[in-house]
Structure formats: C-alpha cells, structure tokens
Structure 1
Amino acid sequence: MSDPTTAAETPLFGPESRFSAFFDDPRWALAMIRATVLEAAHPQIGAALADNSTFVAHPWRRLRNTFLSMRRMFCADAPVREREAARLNRLHARMSGSDSRGRPYDAMDRAARAWVVATLFESAVTMCRLSGQPLDRHTMEQMYAEYRSFLAALDGDAAELPQELSDFWTYFEGVVENELENTEAARVILFRLFDHLPAPALLDGAPVLWAAGRAVAGPLLGAITVASLPEPFRRRAGLPEMPGAGSLMQGAYLAAGLARFLPQGWINAETVIETLSLSPDSDDPRVRTVTALRSRMRRASALLRLLGPLEDAAAPRPGQGSPHGSGSGRRSAEEFFRKVLDQTGDGYLDWPDLAAMARELSTRLDLDEPDETRLYDAFAAWWRELQTALDTDGDGRVDADEYAGAVPSLAGPALIRVAEVLFDATDKDGSGGIDADEYRALFRTAFHRDLSTANGTCSRSDFVGDFVAFMAGRRTSTPYDPLLADA
C-alpha cells in the first residue's frame, strides 16, 4: 500500500512529515498538555478518561505508551500504522459506560475521536504561534492533511473533520463554544495531576528533592496551561487565570522554542522518556549514569530535609512498612492496594483497574488480537472472582477496607489462570520456557538474580508462582514492581 501524499508529493507519514518534526521539540510537551485538557473537556472523552485511564496513578507509563503509539501511527511503514490502528481500536472498543450524569459514552464514538485529532492539530498550530514561529499557510495545510490521514487510519475515513483547513476553524470554535465542559477529568489534569505528580523511576530515590521541584513547577505548569486554553472555554468553565499568567505562558513557549538553535540530535524525546523510565535494577548501560545521579540527588534531598522538611510522599506511614519492601519481602495491604490494584487512582478496585493491567501487559508484549483477547478474558474472570469474594456491600467495586479484610481471596484459581495465560503470551516460540529475549520483552530487563532459572529459561512453574505471589500482595521487590506498580 502506497503512502498518501499531498499535491506537492510531500509524504504525510514518516520522517519527512511536519508531525515528525515535533517529536523532539520541547514545545511539544506544553502543546500535548494543552491538547489533553481540551480532550478531557469533551464530555464523552472526559468520562472515558475518568473511568478507564491510568494517567493519574501512572502518568509516566501513560506518557511512554502514548508517545510510542504516536510514533507508530506516523511511521512511514503502512503495515506498522495499520497494526497500531487495529490495536488502538481494540483498546477503545472495550471502553464504554455512563458518566456521573447518566450520559452514555463510547470511546469508539467517531465525533469524539475526531476531536482528539483536532486538539492535537490546533495545539501544534498554537504552540508555533505562541513561540514566535507561526506556521505559513502552506505548511499548516500540509500538517492538517497529515492529521486527517491519521484520523482516516483509525476510522477508515476522515469525514468527521472538515476537508478544508478554512472550515476547520469554524468547526473547532463551534465545539469549544457549544460542547466542552469543565469535566472532572479536565479538573484533575489542571489542579491535581501537576500538584501530586509521582516521581518517575529516575527520581524515585529522591522524594524530597522531587517534592520540592514539583511544589514550584506544578502550579506554574497549571497556570501556563490554563492561560493557553481558548478564552471562550476558560470563561465558560470558570477557570481562574492568575495575574501575569499570559506573560509566563508566552515566556515558557518562547524559551522552549530556543531549542531550535541546538545542534540536531541533541534532544531526543524517546531517549528522555526511556531514561526517566529506567528502574534501579535494570541492566541497561545507562543505569550506571542514573545510579550516580541518584546518589547526588539523595545528598541534595538530605540537604533539603535539613533546610526545610517537606512531607516525604515515599516515606512509610506508621505500620505501612518500607515502600521498597521489608526484609521479609512483604508489603502492607494498604500499599499494595494503592500501588498495584488501584490502577486508575480513584480509591477503588473494579474492572477498569484490571482492564488497565491487561492493557499494559498486552502493550508490553505487543500482542495480536487472539492472545490479547485471551489475556483480557482471564483478567475478567479474575475480576468476577474478586467481586464475589470481596465486594461485601454490593456496590460493584472493592474499597481498601473490603480488600484488607479478605486478602487471601486474591490468590484463587482465576488468578492462577491469568498467570498461565500471561506465560503463554510471553513464551512467543512455544518452547515451554521464557528465554532471555522473551523475558526482556515483558520486563524490559534481564533475568533477575532472585529468579530461579534453568537452561537459560524461566519455567512455567517459576513464572506462575512469582506472578501469583506478587498479585496476591504476598511479595514485593520482584520484577513485577516496575511492570504494574511504578508510575
């Protein structure tokens, strides 16, 4: 299948596209935050995010997965795009329900999906304008054609977006004026996410230093984002704009735009994201540098504690135990519920949390439809088992108290089945053991020393036993921590 091109024969996908030029642009980070808020303000999208997304509890994991997905969707190789589009459609087809006002939502709604693409395009145009590098008409039309092609790759056509750029602005303003709301998801992004953003793996060893930096950067990011939103939406949503926020926003975009003067290749977004995601026990060569940085950050954290103690989010509460596990390798029920089971961060365990686990595991292993469906079905069976055993008040979900009162019920037959299905999905060659490459695909690291191996492989019994012990909350400090517990 040949790649679509513009009239000037400029590729709409691949390294020569306008979109690809933004991947390593620091301004794109600001634009993406802005676009995400505009997406979340759409009632259908906001409801789907509130019920299903892990962006609150695991924002760095969500960032990495979104970045890699967009890389694939704008890849020059058509089969790669088609495979990723099919994966995204399967993922979204599993997300439907009702919002807090009883209005139905469906993540496959074509108008809502078109709005996601529209916010990305409009935010890219806005970021260029705010940074003093406005796009000319020809470049803007080329980029709009790229985004419409992106939507067509997902939906089969781009009919939900106007064909002509001149008509797009009328469409965009109409949605902003008539459809956007001050949704819970938008408020969480603006007023909770930045203030409570967990540290990425790179900075996990310096919680005080991270808390100090977040206390300054969080409100600034929120103010910059609010100031950059369309004025009609800010007015209708009643979003406060602090004095000087407009100048702060302009300065932030202008400063980020200065990166264009750096030598090409100095900023690589994929490398930055991968580095932030490195776990301390990874065998990646970059970990040596990260370890040295961690040591320096711990010293800085110790100094900050002396100068002005801040609440250490990672410090154990009374009776909670160490966040990295005690000598017995056990973690408290409260910590396991918060870090592992409550994937969406809403304080409850229900089906969207287990679906998020299945989604992350499927993404890691890049599963095709049959294996992906088997994994989701296994998690669904586990959820039914948990609901029967733990949902004592019959509200359809499990809170922390209900969980703590029946912890042994986690390790039932359905959980063992989840482990077996995951083993089969990881064992790509069907050899009956997980070799080093297959193990790395799931955990992004080499075999751990504390894992029993034979003939260079991980056996089914070892894998199932370790997975069940972790998911039942019996063991910490396993390779599963970075998989499902880290942010």
Structure 2
Amino acid sequence: MFGAGSQFRKFFNDPRWALALIRATVLEAAHPQVGAALIDNSTFVTHPWRRLRNTFRSVQRMFAEDERERLREAARLNRLHARIAGADGRDRPYDAMDPEVRAWVVTTLFESAVTMYRLSGQPLQQEEMERLYAECRAFLTMLGDDGGHLPADVADFWPYYDRVVAEVLENTDAMRIILFKLFDHLPVPSVLGGFPTLWAAGRSLAGPLLGAVTVASLPESFRRRTGLPELPGAQALMQGAYVTAGLTRFLPEGWIRADAIADLLTLSPDSDDPRMRTITELNKQIKRAGALIRLISPLPLPREPEPESPVQRSAEEFFGEVLDQTGDGFLDWPDLAAMARELSTRLDLDEPQETRLYNAYADWWRELQSHLDTDGDGRISRQEYAAAVPSLAGPALIKVAEVLFDATDKDGNQRIDADEYRALFRAGFHRDLTTEDGTYSRSAFINDFLSFMSGRHRTTPYDPLLTQA
C-alpha cells in the first residue's frame, strides 16, 4: 500500500498532480466544516507557498517506505487537527478530527486523481483504481479513523461521492477565495522576489486561466447548484491543460522532481543554497540588461523601483507582515497557533516539545489580549495594536523565545550550532550574526528573537521565519 510501489507515490512527480491537487483543495473547501476551518485557522491565502511545501512533505511522509516515518507523521497530523475546532458564521460547529470530514478530504484526493487520468486521456484501469482506493482507506486507518467512513469498495464509492456533492457541499467563502482571489493575487514566491513585475504579469494571465480550468473540472451538478461561472471554451481549455501536462511523462526520468520544485519555491533570498546563488546572479544579469535597454531605447521605459528594506518597521507593517498570519485583518489565537505550527514543522518537533511551544504561544496570546484588546471583542485589531506599545515584550514572549531556543538546541548544550541553525532558518549563519566559536548563544538568540517579535526592527535571518509567502 505504501512506499515506492504505491499509486500515490507515482503522482508526486507528475505535473498533472498540481492541477488535480488544486481541484481536490477546492472540493475540500466546499465542505462546510473544512471551509470554516480554513477561513478561521489556515494561512493558505497569506502564505500559500509555505502551506504547499508543508502539505507536500506531509503526503510524502505518509506514503514513505519506513513505517515508523509514516506513523510519526500520522501522529503529528492528529495533534495538528486536534487543535482545530470552532464554529462557522452560522454557529455550525466544525472539528478537524471529525472522521467523516477527514474521510471527505481523502475522498477528494482519490476522486481528483481518477479525474486527472480521465481528463488527460489515460483513464485508470479498474485494477489500478481499486488499488488506489485501497491506499486511501489505508491512509485513514493509519490516522486512527475507522475505514468504514468510506465505502468498502469502488463500486459503492461513487454513490457516496455523488450524495456528498449533492447534499453537503456549499459555495463556501473558502472555496470562493481559492477560485477567485488566491490565483489572481498569489504572492510572489521568495525565490522570485527579484522579479516582481515579471511575476505580476504572468500571474495576471495565468491566474484567471487556472481558476477557469479548475471550475470547468468540477462536477457539473455542483457548478449549476452553486452558480459558478463557466467561461466560453473553458471545457476545451481544461482538456488541453490536462493533456499538455500529461505529455511531460515523455521527458527523461528525473527532469521533473516535485520535491525540488517545492524546496525551490520556498528558498529565502538570503539562503546560501547554491540554487539561490544562481538565481541571484541571474537577477543581477537581468537588471544589467534592463539598464542597457534603457540607455539605448529612444523612449523612456518605466523604471522598476529597487526594493527597500529599512531597519525600522512601523507597527502597522509589523502587524500585517508578521502578526496577522491568517490575513483576516485581526490578531487572534489562530494567528499565533499558525506561528507555532510553522516553527514546529521546521524543527520537526515531537511531543512534548511541540506542546510546550504551543503552550508558550498560548500564554503570549493571553498576555497580548489582556494588554491590547481594548474593546473586549476577543481579538486585536490593527488600530488597537498600533495605538499600544508595539515593542511589548513581556514575560510570556520571553518564554516563547526560551522554548524555541530549547527546541532548536537539539543536543542541549545551550548553544545553537550550524546544523541546528539551518534546521530553523534554512540558511547558514548570516554574515551579520555575531557568533561565539561558530555557535549562537542562548542570550543572543533570545535577544534577537525578542527584537524581531516585538516589532522593533527587521532582522534578516528572522524575517523569513514568519513572513515568507
């Protein structure tokens, strides 16, 4: 069911899987419980590339060769889901541990994979489809859910799928954001930060097309019921997109590696990764070419402004860039939980360190709430934060820094060495970082972290931790 011979493992380096995964995400978001959980807790709008990388890594681990790695990832996912519960705008409860909801999430992966093959002219054989379905049920079992929440075989699956589409799915806010906002406003990945104009131009064309392809691939009955618009020729465009992506299977093996692409998209500009150095050099060459064109061109061309990175950061900038992780315009617990989740993922924490980090952030949230929530609505607005002292760094934030240092310091020698530093920052020691004997001391780490998290100034190594798209 798992490892190199699994059907899901075949998808990882198949470019068609990108289209299928977007489609599956839209169908997930159309479920009222999933949609509400995404709106309240997810960073998929503000940090989509970070979310993509973490999701890809999780799926890889769940279908790894080593059973211990699979069980460890299943336990991590269960801990993550156990922290996500609440109610939507109509006071309907949602719970990420609901087995029926989790069964629907796995359902969208299976059905979108089957659709991916069908739309690209290579429908799965019955035996392949049954094996893929068995892997999906095994996936749920590994998470500890009863496989009975999915029908026993493929023949019974399709009536179940049609029933959920007809009776449960809705035109949720999360689904509309993915289809009509996310693609059109997709932030530039860090690795392409030097080409904002090029990215904006490409996004303006590709965003609407990707949305149209996704809408056209959704079940027709659902499109009619929810009133989703369909552009003229969208069906032909969708078919062409899947067929074209499918042609890449004829490329030499190893030319397309999804894990390498996912890593590349999340490289920070200050990374010492050789690929980042190559891109930086390419960026310099393009800017030189642009300067030459401006010199010889008879007409003045608009000049692209150089990005500025002032040391000081205003309270409003810090609020939007760092604190408001979910992008809803307010600071509340899901924003700080998203920080803890990202740091735990980077450091690959197990219990009890993961819970210690979440608890430290929860204490900091209570401290912030007590100091800054002046109108008592349970959350902190941009205005409330800006009106208060933006450099607030009380005992709870100090505790966050201490817990994060302990989690990063794997060997417990009270110093962070080069390997431990790279695990957290995904880069080598920065040239501006003062180290002693090639290590990062506890006091220096805590002071730098407090300076960053209290919004006093920008710091090159810390900014990518929580601001990266």
> Are the structure 2 counterparts of residues 417 and 42 from structure 1 closer, same or farther at C-alpha, using a change threshold of 3 Å?
same
Partner SS state of residue 214, structure 1: helix
Partner SS state of residue 4, structure 2: coil
1:339 aligned to 2:321? yes
> Are the structure 2 counterparts of residues 382 and 158 from structure 1 closer, same or farther at C-alpha, using a change threshold of 3 Å?
same
CA contact (8 A) 2:191 2:276 kept: no
Partner SS state of residue 3, structure 2: coil
Give the distance between the partners of 2:199 and 2:459, measured in 1 at CA.
Answer: 22
1:386 aligned to 2:368? yes
Shift of 1:60: 0.2
Deviations 1:356-397 (A, max 9, x none): 000000011111110001100000010011111111111111
> Are the structure 2 counterparts of residues 307 and 44 from structure 1 closer, same or farther at C-alpha, using a change threshold of 3 Å?
farther
Determine the structure 1 residue equivalent to 2:75: 86
1:444 pairs with one of 402, 412, 426: 426
1:417 pairs with one of 394, 399, 405: 399
1:182 aligned to 2:171? yes
Shift of 1:323: 6.3
User: For residue 86 of structure 1, what is the amino acid of its counterpart?
Assistant: A
Shift of 1:298: 4.6
1:325 pairs with one of 265, 289, 309: 309
Determine the structure 2 residue equivalent to 1:137: 126
1:253 aligned to 2:242? yes
Determine the structure 1 residue equivalent to 2:440: 458
CA contact (8 A) 1:469 1:475 kept: yes
Determine the structure 2 residue equivalent to 1:371: 353
CA contact (8 A) 1:208 1:301 kept: no
Give the distance between the partners of 1:356 and 1:271, measured in 2 at CA.
Answer: 24
Q: TM-score, normalised on structure 1?
A: 0.92
> Are the structure 2 counterparts of residues 283 and 422 from structure 1 closer, same or farther at C-alpha, using a change threshold of 3 Å?
same
Shift of 1:407: 3.1
Aligned pairs for 1:141-156 within 5 A: 141-156=130-145
Give the distance between the partners of 2:286 and 2:274, measured in 1 at CA.
Answer: 19
Give the distance between the partners of 1:154 and 1:301, measured in 2 at CA.
Answer: 53
Deviating beyond 4 angstroms after TM superposition, the runs of 4 or more aligned structure 1 residues are 296-304, 306-310
Give the distance between the partners of 1:68 and 1:88, measured in 2 at CA.
Answer: 12
> Are the structure 2 counterparts of residues 375 and 354 from structure 1 closer, same or farther at C-alpha, using a change threshold of 3 Å?
same
The worse-fitting range, judged by mean Cα deviation, of 28-37 and 441-450 is: 441-450
Aligned pairs for 1:294-305 within 5 A: 294-296=283-285, 298=287
2:18 pairs with one of 29, 34, 58: 29
Give the distance between the partners of 1:232 and 1:276, measured in 2 at CA.
Answer: 36
The worse-fitting range, judged by mean Cα deviation, of 61-70 and 292-301 is: 292-301
Give me the CA root mean square deviation: 1.8
1:124 aligned to 2:113? yes
Determine the structure 2 residue equivalent to 1:158: 147
> Are the structure 2 counterparts of residues 129 and 308 from structure 1 closer, same or farther at C-alpha, using a change threshold of 3 Å?
farther
Shift of 1:471: 0.6
2:271 pairs with one of 279, 282, 294: 282
CA contact (8 A) 1:389 1:409 kept: no
2:377 pairs with one of 385, 395, 399: 395
Give the distance between the partners of 1:244 and 1:307, measured in 2 at CA.
Answer: 39
Determine the structure 1 residue equivalent to 2:99: 110
Shift of 1:324: 4.8
Shift of 1:309: 6.5
Shift of 1:478: 2.2
Where structure 1 has 5 or more consecutive residues not aligned to the other structure, the ranges are 1-11, 316-321
Give the distance between the partners of 2:23 and 2:290, measured in 1 at CA.
Answer: 31
Shift of 1:233: 1.0
Determine the structure 1 residue equivalent to 2:255: 266
2:416 pairs with one of 431, 434, 446: 434
Where structure 2 has 5 or more consecutive residues not aligned to the other structure, the ranges are none
User: For residue 407 of structure 1, what is the amino acid of its counterpart?
Assistant: V
Q: Report sequence identity in percent.
A: 69
CA contact (8 A) 2:331 2:381 kept: yes
Give the distance between the partners of 1:434 and 1:91, measured in 2 at CA.
Answer: 27
> Are the structure 2 counterparts of residues 100 and 364 from structure 1 closer, same or farther at C-alpha, using a change threshold of 3 Å?
same
Partner SS state of residue 148, structure 2: coil
Shift of 1:413: 1.3
CA contact (8 A) 1:130 1:254 kept: yes
Partner SS state of residue 105, structure 1: strand
User: For residue 382 of structure 1, what is the amino acid of its counterpart?
Assistant: W
Shift of 1:63: 0.2
Shift of 1:293: 3.0
CA contact (8 A) 1:343 1:356 kept: yes
User: For residue 471 of structure 1, what is the amino acid of its counterpart?
Assistant: M
Partner SS state of residue 86, structure 2: strand
Partner SS state of residue 410, structure 1: coil
Shift of 1:307: 9.0
1:171 aligned to 2:160? yes
CA contact (8 A) 1:72 1:80 kept: yes
Give the distance between the partners of 1:381 and 1:156, measured in 2 at CA.
Answer: 32
Name the structure, 1 or 2, with higher relative contact order (CA <8 Å, separation 6+). 2
Shift of 1:411: 1.2
Shift of 1:157: 3.2
> Are the structure 2 counterparts of residues 95 and 324 from structure 1 closer, same or farther at C-alpha, using a change threshold of 3 Å?
farther
Shift of 1:422: 0.3
